[in-house]
Amino acid sequence: MAWEDRNGGRYYYRKRRQGKQVVSEYIGGGLAGEIASLCDCEDKFNTDIQRAELMQAKENAAELGRDIRMAQEYTRAITRAVLLLSGYHAPRRQWRKIRQ
For 30-64, write each residue's pLDDT tens digit.
Answer: 898 889 999 999 999 999 999 999 999 999 999 99
- pLDDT over 70, % of the chain: 99
State yes or no: pLDDT of 3 exceeds 90: no
How many residues are listed for the chain in this entry?
100
CA angle in degrees (0–180, nearest 5) for 24-30-31: 105
Average pLDDT, the chain: 92
Tell me the average pLDDT across 12-20. 91
Q: Are the beta carbons of 33 and 11 closer than 8 angstroms? A: yes
